[in-house]
Structure 1
Amino acid sequence: MKLQQLHYVLAIVEHGNHLSAAAQALHTSQPGISRQLQLLEAELGFEIFSRSRNRIEGLTPPGELVVEIAKRIMSDVAAISALKADLAAADEGTLTIATTHTQANYVLPKVIGPFVADFPKVQVILKQGDPEGICALVDAGEADIAIGTDTLHSFPALISLPCFAMPRTVVAPAGHPVLDGEELTLARIARYPIITYDSRFSGHRKVRTAFERAGLEPKVVLSAIDAGVCKTYVKLGLGLAILAKITFDPEEDTGLRAIDADHLFESSTTYLKLRHNAYLRPYLLEFIRRFAPHLTPEVVRATLRERRQVSS
């Protein structure tokens, strides 16, 4: 068995089970990949891919296990390569962060600015997406860490480190009736059109759950993945926005007002997620500590050790 063969298997999966696309991406020949795949299956004694008329249709059940293990192996190989680079330059390299729009716009600037100043030889790359998508990037080895809220689907290869809670606020145009000083309730909010996060985000689900438990059906007129977009449409008078409290700045959001609503809606939790078998570069550990001070290098390493012991 060769690492190259496992690399080919993962490439086939990543390219929709198309040998030709995998070969093109790897700058090799389709017959070459096909031959190596046949050799690997012959050595294992079972088929990794199911076929119909010599066309790959998908993974067999044993093949799914092979892919899962192959991902771990390739991740470990990448970690060894990273270790070699780190020994040569501990404070030099790339830090790829997969994160949501809320974190990228309202939380990370306060961390990344000073970090870049202190680590000028580290290139920071931000990849934005929804909570599921950013975890998938880390799972695939395309990002070092993911920063976002909880997901509907699990990612067994990742560990989740809770960072902080994100309470909610109701954002309204200045002079809106909901701002008249009367106690803020779900029933009062439900009188007006609602603007909130896209259904892929935990904020949307938690808002929906709160209204459902109260027996109310709010009129959601618009949803978006970016709090800034939501606030734009509040200014246009489309409705009230229910957003994370950190997204509202009284100085920046002129013409808008915000009311605390953490007593009405469950807070979301921001998590930092990384592969359980990842090699943690020194500057990555320092970034994590700056983002969530309670996640010291000792705490992160201990969490990884515990996870590896459970997995072994």
Structure 2
Amino acid sequence: MKQTDLGESPYSGPILDMKRIRQFMVLAQTLNFRRAAERLHMAQPPLTVSIQKLESDLGVRLFERGGAGGVTLTVAGQAALVEARRLLFHNSQLIATVQATAAGTGGCLRIGFVGSTTHGVLQRIVRQFRADFPAVQLVLKEATSVQIADRVERGELDVGLVRTPLMASAQVRLKPLLTERFVAAVPLGNALTAHAELRMDMLAGEPFVFYTRGDAAGLQAMAMLACQQAGFLPRIAQEATQVQTVLSLVESGLGVALVPSIMQNSPNPGVAYRAIHDIAPAADIGLALLVPEMANPAVPGFQEAALKCFAVG
């Protein structure tokens, strides 16, 4: 059977007027045309006509008429009353949901996040947002910063928590949340763990677990810059995209790595973290909120929650 362009059901019966459904409900409750008309703040004759029109649309009698405007529900009327209650409830729910979504206090918000935000950043923002907007449903999707930027631009995600610098081109806005420096991640047992703090040149002779140039281009560029400004090119033994994967490879003893300082919040048992006192400030990295030009109405609330938790400078 052919459907319309909007994809609705091929049902071709009468379209019920919600105003008439409400009038039917009041008459079913009062069982008297006069009292129902008074409650509805209308004259009795138009109410009588409206109920007759509803019965005509349905093709059944809903009421048996009595004297002095009194009525009783027919069997069909009793069945209609059950469904009318459901219909009015869902109608009010529809209105409330649509209005809340348009206002940014309801609906669904799809959030993309990089894995390193799960070490304290994402949790704090989500807790704050849920406290401020409990009716908004959150859908969380982990991806790389480049992937998140692409999906936000294509409308598959509403907002993103990404690593900066972001090596991507997209019609989006970046709202910086925090700035970090790299720390050294060193496998336990490595001689470097004997030092409380390191210099960059102390890493020059070590094999490195590095970031890939594709999906982790920002971290890769900043880590490479830090090494080059210290006067050496890193000897790359392994590459990975996610920071947590890099740390797993460090824990396996495959090399050292430069990782965001926030990773120290959830230490890996086989990794020691050491501050690097002379790392170049030009190699600073950060986390930012990525927002499309045409944003979901719930995005400003999420941005406000994020800025409550973190503010650069």
C-alpha contact 2:175 2:289 (8 A) present in aligned 1: yes
Give the match for residue 123 of structure 1: 137
Following superposition, the deviation at residue 122 of structure 1 comes to: 2.1
Give the match for residue 254 of structure 2: 238
Give the match for residue 284 of structure 2: 267
Shift in CA distance, 160/183, structure 1 to aligned 2, threshold 3 Å: closer
Q: In structure 2, how many angstroms separate the alpha carbons of the residues matched to 1:178 and 1:277?
A: 49
Give the match for residue 302 of structure 2: 287
* 1:256 equivalent in alignment to 2:271: yes
Question: Which of 112, 124, 137 in structure 1 is aligned with 2:126?
Answer: 112
Give the match for residue 20 of structure 2: none
Give the match for residue 220 of structure 1: 236
Q: Deviations over 1:123-169 (max 9, x none)?
A: 211222222211111111111112112322322x2112121102211
Alignment TM-score, normalising by the size of structure 1: 0.60
Q: Deviations over 1:38-96 (max 9, x none)?
A: xxxxxxxxxxxxxxxxxxxxxxxxxxxxxxxxxxxxxxxxxxxxx95436775321111
C-alpha contact 1:104 1:128 (8 A) present in aligned 2: no
Shift in CA distance, 165/89, structure 1 to aligned 2, threshold 3 Å: closer
Pick which of 157-166 and 207-216 moved more: 207-216
Residue segments in structure 1 that go unaligned for 5+ positions in a row: 1-25, 27-82, 297-312
C-alpha contact 2:113 2:145 (8 A) present in aligned 1: yes
CA-atom RMSD in angstroms? 3.3
Shift in CA distance, 247/238, structure 1 to aligned 2, threshold 3 Å: same
Amino acid at match of 1:161: K
* 1:150 equivalent in alignment to 2:169: no
Q: In structure 2, how many angstroms separate the alpha carbons of the residues matched to 1:146 and 1:244?
A: 18
Percent identical: 22
Give the match for residue 263 of structure 2: 247
C-alpha contact 1:132 1:153 (8 A) present in aligned 2: yes
SS of equivalent to 2:155: coil
* 1:166 equivalent in alignment to 2:183: no
Give the number of aligned pairs.
215
C-alpha contact 1:167 1:262 (8 A) present in aligned 2: no
Residue segments in structure 2 that go unaligned for 5+ positions in a row: 1-6, 8-96
SS of equivalent to 1:271: strand
Greater C-alpha Rg = 2
Q: In structure 2, how many angstroms separate the alpha carbons of the residues matched to 1:97 and 1:286?
A: 13
C-alpha contact 1:91 1:122 (8 A) present in aligned 2: yes
* 1:209 equivalent in alignment to 2:201: no
